[in-house]
């Protein structure tokens, strides 16, 4: 549940910040009459994300076992790639997110109502689709459709509450540090999802090595024990992985985490309080 809570919190908070910045900018510039198109775009993005998740969940159940494993493994790899790109992108652009969104919103305002709807839809929709895909693959990896989904929903609800508090000016946070540490934790979660995706492709017959186990500590860490369940839910830990799973997990985790946590060559990033991105609305 914790791993999926983190996914929902991290991805949902990004979307919440985007919404806060868009709404706060229109309110601050006395353009409240243009809020409706923005909300329409946001609502359409939410609906699309939920529909995408539903298609993944219910569509996959109609496939054969091999096809389900192939689909799950392929989408797991895609999800890991998207999340990896996202955490690096957000760490690099967090300081400039407000200015970037303001520029896009100004251009959309000049073009008309439809442009506003599309801008809000694209800004939130990207986060929503990434969230739906990564949560679905994480749920598939845990083989438990209830607790991981509950964790993800709780994370999303928390992000909505935090987003509202940011908008009202009741909460301040150093975005650079927040996205750095949650990003590092997501990289660890993604490594487990990647290893599980490789296992799915092995079960589908797309990749060899299914019978070549790296180790088996099932007697020490039973899958149905509370600590086995905890390790599975947080890190997608498997007590009997194949050699290829372990190799892929290490090959992804070690260099990715090193590059992500490595300090950039320039000056240290300045703290980015959310209050600067989402000012209090005008009275």
Domain boundaries, the chain: 2-276
SS3 at position 242:
strand
Exposure on the CB side of residue 239, measured as CA atoms within 13 A: 15
184 or 277: whose pLDDT is higher?
184
The Cα-based distances of 74 to 149, 206, 220 in angstroms read 21, 10, 31
pLDDT confidence of residue 247: 93
Which pair of structure tokens corresponds to residue 158? 């928390």
Largest Cα–Cα separation, the chain: 66
Per-residue pLDDT tens for 220-230? 877 767 667 66
Residue 255 pLDDT > 50, yes or no? yes
Spatial contact of 130 and 48, defined as CB atoms under 8 Å apart: no
pLDDT confidence of residue 144: 58
Spatial contact of 88 and 187, defined as CB atoms under 8 Å apart: no
pLDDT confidence of residue 175: 64
| Beta-carbon count within 10 A of 147 CB | 15
| Beta-carbon count within 10 A of 64 CB | 9
Q: What is the mean pLDDT of residues 249-263?
A: 88
90 or 121: whose pLDDT is higher?
121
pLDDT confidence of residue 22: 79
Distance CA 204, CA 66 (A): 5
SS3 at position 78:
helix
The winner for highest mean pLDDT among 30-39, 108-117, 233-242, 268-277 is 30-39
| Beta-carbon count within 10 A of 41 CB | 24
Question: Which stretch of 66-80, 105-119, 165-179 has the lowest confidence by average pLDDT?
Answer: 165-179
Per-residue pLDDT tens for 143-172? 555 666 777 788 888 888 887 887 776 556
pLDDT confidence of residue 265: 39
Strands (E), 106-210: none
Q: How many residues does the chain have?
A: 283
pLDDT confidence of residue 279: 46
Residue closest to 256 by CA, chosen among 187, 182, 179: 187
Burial class (CB in 10 A: 0-12, 13-18, 19+), 130: buried
| Beta-carbon count within 10 A of 246 CB | 16
Please report where in the chains the tokens 């109609």 appear, as a residue.
Answer: 62
């Amino acid at each position: 549940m914790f791993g999926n809570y983190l996914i929902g919190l991290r991805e949902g908070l990004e979307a919440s910040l985007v919404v806060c910045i868009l709404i706060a900018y229109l309110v601050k510039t006395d353009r409240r009459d243009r809020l409706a198109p923005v909300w329409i775009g946001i609502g359409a993005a939410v609906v699309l994300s939920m529909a995408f998740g539903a298609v993944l969940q219910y569509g996959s159940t109609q496939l054969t076992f091999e096809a389900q494993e192939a689909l799950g493994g392929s989408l797991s790899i895609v999800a890991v790639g998207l999340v990896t790109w996202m955490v690096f992108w957000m760490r690099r652009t967090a300081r400039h997110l407000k200015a970037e969104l303001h520029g896009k919103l100004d251009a959309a305002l000049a073009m008309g109502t439809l442009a506003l709807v599309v801008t809000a839809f694209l800004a939130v929709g990207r986060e929503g689709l990434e969230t739906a895909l990564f949560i679905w693959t994480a749920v598939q990896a845990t083989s438990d459709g209830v607790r991981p989904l509950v964790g993800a929903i709780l994370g999303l609800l928390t992000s909505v509450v935090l987003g509202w508090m940011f908008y009202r000016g009741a909460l301040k946070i150093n975005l650079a540090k927040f996205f750095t540490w949650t990003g590092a934790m997501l990289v660890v979660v993604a490594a487990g999802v990647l290893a599980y995706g490789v296992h799915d492709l092995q079960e589908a017959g797309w990749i060899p090595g299914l019978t070549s186990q790296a180790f088996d500590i099932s007697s020490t860490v039973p899958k149905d024990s509370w600590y086995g369940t905890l390790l599975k839910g947080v890190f997608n830990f498997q007590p009997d992985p194949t050699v290829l799973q372990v190799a892929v997990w290490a090959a992804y985790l070690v260099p990715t985490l090193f590059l992500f946590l490595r300090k950039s060559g320039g000056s240290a990033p300045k703290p980015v309080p959310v209050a600067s991105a989402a000012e209090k609305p005008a009275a």
